[in-house]
Amino acid sequence: MNKTWLIIKHEFLTMVKRKGFIIMTLAIPVVALLGLLAAQIVPNLVNDTAPTTEKIGYVDYAGAFPAGITEGKVSVVHYATEADAKAALLDEEIAAYLVIPTDYIATGWLQRYTLKNEIEISGVGQTAIRDFLLGNLLQGNTPEVIARAKNPMNIITTTLTSTGDVAEQQGGISAMILAYIFAILLMMSIFSSSGYLLQGLGEEKENRVMEILLSSVSSAQLLIGKVIGLGAGGLLQIVVWMVSAGVMLKLALDNFSDVIGVLNVTPEFLVLGVIYFILGYLLVAVLMAGAGAIAPTAREGQQMSVLFTLPVILPIYFMALIMEHPENIVVQILTFIPITSPMTIMMRLGLSEITSWEIAVSIVLIALSIVGCFILAKKLFRTYLLMYGKRPDLRQILQSFRKA
């Protein structure tokens, strides 16, 4: 046990002293902080350099739009003829002009002319045109009615549980942001920690350091020490990110609460986040350790690791399905497959309700998979850790399992 502890301590200290680990751990909070600063500074710079007022002309053949409008930095101004509007456009007095045909009331069609190649009209421009049309169509109504027609809905949705109580997770864009960010951080930390494990095994095999290690410790002690030591480093990384994320979320809420709403980070979410990081890391780490034992070089080990890393990120591609249909059979399958379960569970916790039995079953399945993979990895360590040169094929691996 003392030798195992020494390996754990060595691997942990080696990992946290790596420049790559330090840079990655600090880079995420720094980039997030710079992103928040940019979100505040850039709009002001854009506003300072943008023209004071953008003019949009219109020609009214329907005879129902006598009044122009000025809204924010956009003005919609009337021209008597298309020739006048075109001349103003060519002289760059206006950014575009609209032709309202005689049958507009029946069809709703407008013809717009501009000198710019655009994918679509800017959001500000669309809003100004819509309000111009509504203001004229509703002429004669009170200002309150016109204002409500321009903004007819302010919906507040409250999610209830099956018992009729207000659910803790209310969904919305804030929940989606939280789930997505946490899933990405979880994935990055798992890959970082298990990647260091695979890289270290490959380097020690190539440098023949492994022969010296195995003369002093057993393959099981070496496997346990490396997995736990590097996992502790990954957990430290997750803790740093979670603490910094709390600070960043507070800053984001202070400045962008009207956009992202209210972020409700429950203790359950944080506790399960740590649990699923540990389980997810242990599962990927023992798989990586098995790949590292088989691979004759660090490069081949990295190539084999794709077999484990791709399934881990699979839930990200189903995020839309998880958001809209969390009870879908595909989502249920991803919830219970051990290698996809950590990210799927964390995304579902942020986006929708998930039952306790689903969490319990997923944890049990991951734990059983870790035990099974650990037993297989230990046999691979014992058989192939000192093998150099050629990588064994599947038939040889299966034969070694039977003999072990």
In a domain, 37, yes or no: no
Give the pLDDT score at 169. 58
Which of 123, 150, 177 is at the close of a domain? 150
258 and 321 assigned to the same domain: yes
In a domain, 317, yes or no: yes
Which of 150, 183, 205 is at the close of a domain? 150
8 A C-beta contact, residue 290 and residue 201: no
In a domain, 330, yes or no: yes
Give the pLDDT score at 33. 81
84 and 185 assigned to the same domain: no
Which of 118, 150, 182 is at the close of a domain? 150
How many structural domains is the chain composed of?
2
234 and 146 assigned to the same domain: no
Give the pLDDT score at 259. 47
Give the pLDDT score at 243. 79
In a domain, 319, yes or no: yes
72 and 202 assigned to the same domain: no
Give the pLDDT score at 360. 93
What is d(CA 345, CA 355) in angstroms, rounded to the nearest whole number? 11
225 and 135 assigned to the same domain: no
63 and 121 assigned to the same domain: yes
292 and 146 assigned to the same domain: no
269 and 332 assigned to the same domain: yes
**pTM of the model as a whole:** 0.62
In a domain, 19, yes or no: no
Spatial strand order of the sheet with 54-60 comes to 69-71, 74-78, 54-60, 96-100, 111-114
What is d(CA 89, CA 247) in angstroms, rounded to the nearest whole number? 49
In a domain, 68, yes or no: yes
277 and 205 assigned to the same domain: yes
84 and 193 assigned to the same domain: no
140 and 231 assigned to the same domain: no
In a domain, 17, yes or no: no
Nearest 5°: phi and psi at 78? -90, 140
Q: Name the residue range of residue 59's domain.
A: 54-150
Here the CATH number for the domain that contains residue 139 is: 3.40.190.10
Give the DSSP letter of residue 166.
B
The tens-digit pLDDT sequence of the chain (404 residues) is 577 888 888 888 888 888 888 888 888 888 878 877 776 676 665 555 445 678 899 999 988 888 888 877 788 899 989 999 999 999 988 989 999 999 988 888 999 998 887 767 777 788 888 888 888 888 878 778 877 877 777 766 666 666 777 666 555 555 666 667 777 777 777 777 777 777 777 666 666 666 666 667 777 777 788 788 877 887 788 788 777 877 776 676 665 554 444 555 667 777 887 888 788 888 888 887 777 777 666 667 667 777 777 888 888 888 778 777 777 899 889 999 998 998 888 888 766 667 889 999 999 999 999 998 888 877 777 676 655 555 655 565 556 555 55
8 A C-beta contact, residue 244 and residue 29: yes
359 and 248 assigned to the same domain: yes
In a domain, 267, yes or no: yes
Nearest 5°: phi and psi at 54? -100, 130
